[in-house]
Amino acid sequence: MGRRGRELLALRRRLRLGGGTEKIQRQRERGKLTARDRLHLLLDPDATWAEVGLLVAHDLYDGAAPGAGVVTGVGVV
């Protein structure tokens, strides 16, 4: 894989963390699930999840709203 491919994979990993690992941990300490946690529980465990629009708002809000605060995709319930 080339440099651009590696950069894209790293960016996608970072965007999936939303506000970052500290905010995810704080959410879980409060007994709350992240949007991706809730999707994981909702969708069939062996089915494919195809996320759509992960990069839609990248760099649009100066990094303040990764993914525009929305998780969209297609999966089997």
pLDDT digits (tens, 9 = 90+) for 14-71: 888 888 899 999 999 999 999 999 999 999 999 999 999 888 877 777 766 666 678 9
- Total of domains in the chain: 1
CA angle 77, 36, 34 (to 5 degrees): 125
Give the residue numbers spanning the domain of 37. Answer: 3-74
Are 18 and 67 spatial neighbours (Cβ–Cβ below 8 Å)? Answer: yes
pTM (predicted TM-score)? 0.75
C-alpha distances in Å from residue 75, one per residue of 5, 6, 38, 65, 69: 25, 26, 13, 24, 19
Q: In angstroms, rounded to a whole number, what is the distance separating the alpha carbons of residues 15 and 67? A: 7
Greater model confidence, 58 or 6: 6
